[in-house]
Structure 1
Amino acid sequence: MRTVIRQKARQRLDERLLALKPVDHYRSPPKGWLKAIRDALGMTGVQFARRLNVSPQSVDALEKSEANGTIKIKTLRRAAEALDCTLVYALVPNTSLEAAVNEQARALALRDLDRVAHTMKLEAQGVPDADLAERLDAYIRDSLRDRDIWEPS
Structure 2
Amino acid sequence: MRDPKIKLLIEQLDRKFERLSSIDDLIMPPEGWVYSVRTALKMTLKQLGSKLGITAQSVKEIETREKWGLLL
User: Normalised by the size of structure 2, how large is the TM-score?
Assistant: 0.64
What CA distance in whole angstroms lies between the structure 1 residues aligned with 2:42 and 2:32? Answer: 16
Q: Which has the higher contact order (CA 8 A, sep 6+)?
A: 2
Assess, with a 3 A threshold, how the Cα gap between structure 1 residues 21 and 70 changes in structure 2: closer, same or farther.
Answer: closer
Matches within 5 A, 1:98-113: none
Structure 1 portions without partners, runs of 5+: 1-18, 73-153
What's the counterpart of residue 52 of structure 1? Answer: 52
The alignment of Structure 1 onto Structure 2 pairs a total of residues equal to 52
Shift, 1:69, TM fit: 1.0
Assess, with a 3 A threshold, how the Cα gap between structure 1 residues 22 and 66 changes in structure 2: closer, same or farther.
Answer: closer
Supply the RMSD in Å over aligned alpha carbons. Answer: 1.8
**Cα displacement string for residues 93-149 of structure 1 (whole angstroms, at most 9, x for unaligned residues):** xxxxxxxxxxxxxxxxxxxxxxxxxxxxxxxxxxxxxxxxxxxxxxxxxxxxxxxxx
What CA distance in whole angstroms lies between the structure 2 residues aligned with 1:61 and 1:49? Answer: 11
Instruction: State percent identity of aligned pairs.
Output: 33
Q: Which one has the largest radius of gyration?
A: 1
User: Normalised by the size of structure 1, how large is the TM-score?
Assistant: 0.32
